A and B are shown apart, each in its own frame.
Chain A
Amino acid sequence: MSAVLELSGLTKAYPGVIANDDVSLTIQPGEVHALLGENGAGKSTLVKMIYGLVKPDAGRMIFLGQEFAPAEPRAARAAGVAMVFQHFSLFEALDVAENIALGMEHPPNMRDLAARITEVSQAYGLPLDPSRLVGDLSAGERQRVEIIRCLLQNPKLLIMDEPTSVLTPQEVGILFQTLEKLRSEGTSILYISHKLEEIRRLCDAATILRLGKNVGTCDPKVETARAMAEMMVGATLHVPERKPHERTQVALELRGLSLAAPSAFGTSLKEVSLNVHRGEILGIGGVAGNGQDELTAALSGEMPVAAGQLWFEGQDIGALGPNERRALGLLAAPEERLGHAAAPDMSLTENAVLTATTRKSLTRKGFVNWRAAEGYTKEVIAQFDVRTPGPHTAARALSGGNLQKYVIGREILQDPDVLVVNQPTWGVDAAAAAAIRQALLDLAAGGAAIIVISQDLDELMEISDRFAALNEGRLTPPVPASGLSVEKIGLMMGGAHDLEPVHV
């Protein structure tokens, strides 16, 4: 049996960086092939070449025995390649059928299309109402729209870019059943992920990329997750260690916090209650878009909350703004590194002044004390191993992992009593992520209270003392994190959002 897709020697360079360097791989019919690698290893560039979004500089592709060089996605789709994007390529203000029609070459008229959507979605256990607005759908349902858009074209090769990063464990299970059914029908799947356990569950073969190069293939069913992780990183992994520490008095408390959604597609917080003790890390999980950003904003002071709902060491601080909260000792690091946590075009020193001015006295009578600011920035850079030419570098010039280390370090070195971080290691390479987690553990051991909001459940299990989940703006009561099963977490996160398992 001949291969579905054969890549040989694919190379693509961007100014200053070689995204793909002589990459080869082969996908067999009916095979689920994993493409593994850290952020920035060149996975996305590789699949964009297959999908016709990027032209390779060198190398050749053979698809179904024929030379394959799609000039645009349309050509790739016509040949039988379909792709589910990581950041959904959906249009929120259009309905499901319109979104699907946009991804097809020759869509039938809307009524027939709606009927086919219903038919296909039932057949694969992914029920969808064609007339609903995509903006009103959950992340899992949005992914179904993408998948069905692909399935309607009967693809030979389905590319999935990080499909599970937005799903609850139950939704992942249903997705895998759908993929198994596709595989049994002979469709090949190129599956991009960095979640190793999933790959071990699902995939038949894996190709590992590091810094744009193919560093090996393996059978994920045989290899251990740790061995694959070390192939991805190219070094031995340092696992964060937890020092014994004890929790003492309550530092921060939410009493029935309710907050209206700030925008049409935002989430309102409903009766959120929690407390976090000194010396403790409270992990808050949940699928993206269930109120994480709103909760961060309410805690940091970007959105003021009603009186009596937010208490810091026995003081009602709901009406205080971010700077007043920082002065008290409540610091926060939001999710979006560029544009929210840091101003992209300003230097690291200037960015340090923006949040550390109150606690580190970097300004005097309205004048910035640049010497002190630069000293503080250098301290952050040194202590958190931020790889950068110096404190004058613009924030946007740093890689994701380095900027995240800087953002977290900038808050930690201000010696907070309570620290709120949202997605501390999102899109950060494994080594930097381990360093950040270690820093958070050390801070808690030093007596600070920490709230970590994250969608990475492994991370939360690794560092939190207690775990709670956000689901549509409601927070579950926190439970001790040790010994918590994946099923229990999944249920806390809202289960499968009425998904049905596939009927094979």
Chain B
Amino acid sequence: MDLSSINPILLVASLMVAATPIILAAIGELIVEKSGVLNLGVEGMMIVGAICGFAIAVQTGSPFVGFVAAAFGGAVLSLLFGILTQYFLSNQVATGLGLTLFGLGLSSLMGQGYIGIRPPATPRLEIPVLSDIPVLGPVLFNHDLMVYVALGLVVATWAVLKFTRAGLILRAVGENHDAAHALGYKVVRVRLMAITFGGACAGLGGAYLSLVRVPQWTEGMTAGAGWIALAIVVFGAWRPFRVLLGAYLFGGVTVLQLNLQAAGVAIPVEYLSMSPYLITIAVLVIMSSGKAKAALSAPACLGKIFHASS
């Protein structure tokens, strides 16, 4: 066992990369849940985004077009969920689970011809001057564009929710859809837009896995990242910056266990692979034991079906 082989700077730098897909998916789901909808199909939307992005990037040779296609693919799949739950009033939990299963199957089908291919490389933005700063440079300023897009999205989500009228209406719809309807807000329309945004974000997160983090296509490659994103939204108590923190925590544990494996720690590999999930569960249990706190921040209409009865 040689712990000194773990380079802390590289560890933190790769933590940011490992956390990015989860940040993207979780921030999308945060918006969806803030509007009062529980979409458990994040995993399905992520993996469909992963294959859409991968396929289009391989075909066009441009990772950028791939990411756009991934967002589009995730959004289309989420609209399926949106139409079922918002117009046909289907149960959100069952529909979301169905969406995950459907997405996993659909992605395997779409990915038939793409196994074992390498995608075009996503360039790193080696920001001049800044990336040369010792320690901070490689940690913060030597990543690909999507890492910064994800961070920007977190900040933007926070600002929109806190300062804008659109954010206020979104929160109002999630808090009390009957009252929002009585005041004349279009509950279904707001929710469909939120669901589509969530789908696009999950698609981006999936494509980040297949185009940057891995980078190749294998069936079921999201490996539960969508579920972790869902858990992190609760962990973050529906607040953007706490979601970011949760994603970094999870990313950190993931990267650390890889490094520990490489360093030859005498623990079976399975335990190490399990650890991020165990820690996420433990944190969730601790979080939700402070009952009143969690209850206060959850959108009051989360998962409830809205039907304009009047």
Report A-chain residues with C-beta under 8 Å of the C-beta of B43. Answer: none
Stretch in contact with the other chain, from B24-32, B135-143, B171-179? B171-179
- Seen from chain A, the residues whose Cβ lies within 8 Å of a Cβ on chain B are 48, 52-54, 72-74, 77, 85, 87-94, 98, 101-103, 107, 135, 263-264
Among candidates A92, A102, A135, residue contacting B183 with C-beta atoms closer than 8 Å: A102
Task: Tell me the bound Cα distance from A89 to B179 in angstroms.
Answer: 4
Q: Which residue of B lies closest to A262 (CB)?
A: B291
The 10 closest A-B pairs by CB, nearest first: A73-B184, A89-B179, A91-B175, A89-B182, A74-B184, A264-B292, A264-B295, A72-B184, A91-B176, A93-B175
Task: Tell me the bound Cα distance from A135 to B296 in angstroms.
Answer: 10
Q: How far is the CB of B146 from chain A (nearest CB, A)?
A: 33
Task: Tell me the bound Cα distance from A85 to B182 in angstroms.
Answer: 9
Task: Tell me the bound Cα distance from A92 to B301 in angstroms.
Answer: 11
Report whether A102 and B168 are in contact in the complex, using a CB–CB cutoff of 8 Å. yes
Report whether A94 and B184 are in contact in the complex, using a CB–CB cutoff of 8 Å. no
Report whether B168 and A53 are in contact in the complex, using a CB–CB cutoff of 8 Å. no
Report whether B165 and A90 are in contact in the complex, using a CB–CB cutoff of 8 Å. no
Task: Tell me the bound Cα distance from A386 to B212 in angstroms.
Answer: 68
Of B168, B180, B183, B185, most A-chain CB atoms within 10 Å: B183
Cβ of B310 < 8 Å from any Cβ of A? yes
**Interface residues of chain A: helix, strand, loop or mixed (majority):** loop
Q: Which residue of A lies closest to B296 (CB)?
A: A264
Report B-chain residues with C-beta under 8 Å of the C-beta of A103. Answer: 183
Q: Which residue of B lies closest to A101 (CB)?
A: B168
Report whether A89 and B183 are in contact in the complex, using a CB–CB cutoff of 8 Å. yes
Among candidates A72, A77, A85, A91, residue contacting B172 with C-beta atoms closer than 8 Å: A91
Among candidates B182, B295, B299, residue contacting A73 with C-beta atoms closer than 8 Å: B182
Q: Which residue of A lies closest to B171 (CB)?
A: A94
Report whether B295 and A102 are in contact in the complex, using a CB–CB cutoff of 8 Å. no
Task: Tell me the bound Cα distance from A411 to B144 in angstroms.
Answer: 69
Q: How far is the CB of A143 from chain B (nearest CB, A)?
A: 14
Q: How far is the CB of A139 from chain B (nearest CB, A)?
A: 15
Report A-chain residues with C-beta under 8 Å of the C-beta of B291. Answer: 264
Task: Tell me the bound Cα distance from A54 to B308 in angstroms.
Answer: 11
Cβ of B65 < 8 Å from any Cβ of A? no
Report B-chain residues with C-beta under 8 Å of the C-beta of A135. Answer: 296
Q: How far is the CB of A427 from chain B (nearest CB, A)?
A: 16
Q: How far is the CB of A94 from chain B (nearest CB, A)?
A: 6
Report B-chain residues with C-beta under 8 Å of the C-beta of A98. Answer: 168, 172
Cβ of B300 < 8 Å from any Cβ of A? yes
Q: How far is the CB of A52 from chain B (nearest CB, A)?
A: 7
Cβ of B190 < 8 Å from any Cβ of A? no
Cβ of B169 < 8 Å from any Cβ of A? yes
Given known A91-B172, A102-B172, A264-B295, contact A53–B300 (CB-CB < 8 A)? no
Task: Tell me the bound Cα distance from A54 to B185 in angstroms.
Answer: 14
Report A-chain residues with C-beta under 8 Å of the C-beta of B183. Answer: 73, 89, 102-103
Report whether B184 and A52 are in contact in the complex, using a CB–CB cutoff of 8 Å. yes
Report A-chain residues with C-beta under 8 Å of the C-beta of B185. Answer: 102
Task: Tell me the bound Cα distance from A88 to B175 in angstroms.
Answer: 13
Report whether B292 and A89 are in contact in the complex, using a CB–CB cutoff of 8 Å. no
Report B-chain residues with C-beta under 8 Å of the C-beta of A101. Answer: 165, 168
Report whether A89 and B296 are in contact in the complex, using a CB–CB cutoff of 8 Å. no
Report A-chain residues with C-beta under 8 Å of the C-beta of B180. Answer: 91, 102
Report whether B175 and A107 are in contact in the complex, using a CB–CB cutoff of 8 Å. no
Report whether A94 and B295 are in contact in the complex, using a CB–CB cutoff of 8 Å. no
Given known A72-B184, A102-B168, A102-B169, contact A93–B179 (CB-CB < 8 A)? no
Q: How far is the CB of B153 from chain A (nearest CB, A)?
A: 23
Given known A91-B176, A91-B179, A102-B168, contact A53–B296 (CB-CB < 8 A)? no
For this complex, 23 residue pairs linking A to B, each with C-beta atoms less than 8 Å apart, are: A53-B310, A54-B310, A72-B184, A73-B183, A74-B184, A85-B182, A89-B179, A90-B176, A90-B179, A91-B171, A91-B172, A91-B175, A92-B300, A93-B171, A93-B175, A94-B168, A94-B175, A98-B168, A102-B168, A102-B172, A263-B292, A263-B295, A264-B295
Q: How far is the CB of B176 from chain A (nearest CB, A)?
A: 5
Task: Tell me the bound Cα distance from A77 to B185 in angstroms.
Answer: 13
Report B-chain residues with C-beta under 8 Å of the C-beta of A91. Answer: 171-172, 175-176, 179-180
Q: How far is the CB of B261 from chain A (nearest CB, A)?
A: 43
Q: How far is the CB of A429 from chain B (nearest CB, A)?
A: 21
Task: Tell me the bound Cα distance from A183 to B300 in angstroms.
Answer: 37
Q: How far is the CB of A294 from chain B (nearest CB, A)?
A: 15
| Contact flags B288-308 to A (C-beta < 8 A → 1, else 0) | 000110011101100000000
Q: Which residue of B lies closest to A71 (CB)?
A: B184
Task: Tell me the bound Cα distance from A94 to B183 in angstroms.
Answer: 15
Of A52, A54, A91, A107, most B-chain CB atoms within 10 Å: A91
Report A-chain residues with C-beta under 8 Å of the C-beta of B172. Answer: 91, 94, 98, 102
Given A73-B182, A92-B176, A98-B172, 11 additional A-B pairs, CB 8 A? A52-B184, A53-B184, A53-B310, A77-B184, A89-B182, A89-B183, A91-B179, A92-B300, A93-B171, A103-B183, A264-B295
Report B-chain residues with C-beta under 8 Å of the C-beta of A264. Answer: 291-292, 295-296
Task: Tell me the bound Cα distance from A73 to B184 in angstroms.
Answer: 5
Task: Tell me the bound Cα distance from A135 to B176 in angstroms.
Answer: 12
Report B-chain residues with C-beta under 8 Å of the C-beta of A72. Answer: 184
